Structure 1
Amino acid sequence: MQEKHPGKESKKEYETKDFTDSPLVVTGRGLGGYLAILFTLFHQHAVDLEEYNGSKTAKRPICITFGAPLLGDETFRPYEKAKRNEDKFITYMEWYMKIQRSEGRNYYDSYKKAETKKEIERQQEVIRHQRILNQYWKKLVDEKNRMPQKEGAKLRKRWLYSGTNYRRIVEPLDIADYYKRGNTDYIGNRPNHYELLEKWSEDDKKGQMSSDGKMKAVCLTEDSCFWAHVEEAVILLRELKNGGSSSFATDIEGFEVYIWEAIQNFSVSPDVFLEGSSLMKWWSDYKVYKGSSYDSEFARYMNDGRYTSYR
């Protein structure tokens, strides 16, 4: 590893530096630590550009300071306070999900249909964390999106990973709130920051070698709009029962294809099949509507009870 103190070499020299050889360690003490942080942020930017241009070997600099003042104010400390808080709130949400699973419920329906005093208290605490996370990520995504194309076209991998995790945990709760208010077509009115996070995630996967198909269900449903599809299927079924047009039948069959592909790809979490979930209630009503003679791959899977061993 190389160890450098800020100011030893010019900014011009580092603009042309090859970052693929070995990690750079930047150190500083007191005000020197403040400069070390700024110096490191400059190099982080340079590595971002290297990665954007296709580098797979560029190494990010490491910053070690002693008694350095904090950099930035309360609204801009991406490497200190803000990122630690975001992780804390996500950890709480993951705890909430785990508690619901241990009680035999999925967290989407538990959040949407909170009834008991305990459930409502948990829901209110989740709402608090949900609002803070949404505020944080909306601001961050907006800042990244307004950057020049070369700088902002792709989030750093660690930010992108955190953003994907946030989207898959929090967006279902926004979906629950949306449909609780009697709205329809969430996907057509989806918040922009979720769309951008998903787009950046998909762009990041382009050109990567595809791995073998999963043989085990994910613990967190990959499509953060999954429950919006379920809610729309519930609405479609209601329209069909009330004599809706044949286009509703076509759309609901499209949902069947969607959920069947998700099952085959192990891209939905097992808790979507828990008794009393919105999906299972929809299936129960849909099975009655279609009649005992109805046959499809998804219908056979559900009728045979194979979903109970989905893991």
Structure 2
Amino acid sequence: KDFQANVKRLVLAGVWDEIIEMLKRYELPDEFEGKKEWIVHGTRYRRLVEPLDIANYHRHLKNEDTGPYMNKARPKRYRYTQRWLEHANRLPKEEITESTFWAEVEELCSWISNNKPFEDVKERVLKLEQDIKKWTDNGELTKDVFSKDPTFIKLWETLPHEHKSTSCISTLFTVKG
């Protein structure tokens, strides 16, 4: 089952990479990236598949060789489709989105597991929590994401109790500690 999902992920990546290349070669209509149906398709694809790419990136420890996913490895197919949505809805450019927050969770887990003090990442954690709250309120993320993902739970459990008790997302899931 995982193998088949990975094959489909790679096939879809090839399709979207070709779309982006066609766009760059001006082989698609000028208004292509502004069409609502393509914005919807691109956003749906990004939200469903990018978390799998992030997981694969970290599973193969590419972050240790190449560096953080968001800085070094995020494919154009996701950057472009994110930009289409931002332009269509007149949204500001976001560094962390509902499809890339897993990369930030992985980076924070890595940081904390290397015994770095919480104070060094506190601002990043607070920003991530505010974004998660916004995305769940807007229906872009569902609460079950947090109860089923061990990486997020691992990060949550490493945070200081004082922080968790006042976190804006503490009611989104139930975790001991």
TM-score range, shorter chain: 0.7 to 0.9
1:201-223 Cα offsets, whole Å, 9 max, x none, are 2212239xxxxxxxxxxxxxx72
| Counterpart Cα distance in 1 of 2:16 and 2:81 | 9
1:178-201 Cα offsets, whole Å, 9 max, x none, are 111221421112111210111012
Which structure features the higher share of strand residues?
Answer: 1
In structure 2, list runs of 5 or more residues that go unmatched. Answer: 92-96
1:146 maps to 2:15: no
Give the match for residue 21 of structure 1: none
- In the superposition, the TM-score normalised over structure 2's length comes to 0.76
Question: Relative to structure 1, is the Cα distance of residues 152 and 277 closer, same or farther in structure 2, using a 3 angstrom cutoff?
Answer: same
- In the superposition, the TM-score normalised over structure 1's length comes to 0.46
Question: Relative to structure 1, is the Cα distance of residues 160 and 266 closer, same or farther in structure 2, using a 3 angstrom cutoff?
Answer: closer
Deviation at residue 176 of structure 1 after TM alignment? 0.6
RMSD over equivalenced CA pairs, Å: 2.9
Give the match for residue 76 of structure 2: 192
1:227 maps to 2:110: no
| Counterpart Cα distance in 1 of 2:25 and 2:146 | 41
Give the match for residue 92 of structure 1: none
1:74-98 Cα offsets, whole Å, 9 max, x none, are xxxxxxxxxxxxxxxxxxxxxxxxx
Give the match for residue 64 of structure 1: none
Aligned identity (percent) is 25
Question: Relative to structure 1, is the Cα distance of residues 250 and 126 closer, same or farther in structure 2, using a 3 angstrom cutoff?
Answer: same
Deviation at residue 227 of structure 1 after TM alignment? 1.3
SS across alignment from 2:68: coil
1:131 maps to 2:10: yes
| Counterpart Cα distance in 2 of 1:197 and 1:263 | 21
SS across alignment from 1:259: helix
Give the match for residue 283 of structure 1: 156
| Counterpart Cα distance in 2 of 1:230 and 1:279 | 6
Question: What is the correspondence of 1:14-25 to structure 2 with a 5 Å cutoff?
Answer: none
1:171 maps to 2:171: no
Instruction: Say if 2:57 and 2:69, in contact at 8 Å, map to a contact too.
Output: yes
Instruction: Say if 2:17 and 2:77, in contact at 8 Å, map to a contact too.
Output: yes
Question: What is the correspondence of 1:67-78 to structure 2 with a 5 Å cutoff?
Answer: none
In structure 1, list runs of 5 or more residues that go unmatched. Answer: 1-121, 208-221
Which structure features the higher share of helix residues?
Answer: 2
Runs (4+) of structure 1 exceeding 3 A deviation are 243-247, 263-266, 291-295
Number of positions where the alignment pairs a residue of Structure 1 with one of Structure 2: 164
Q: Greater relative contact order: 1 or 2 (C-alpha under 8 angstroms, separation 6 or more)? A: 2
1:111-162 Cα offsets, whole Å, 9 max, x none, are xxxxxxxxxxx11001111111100110111211332898156343323322
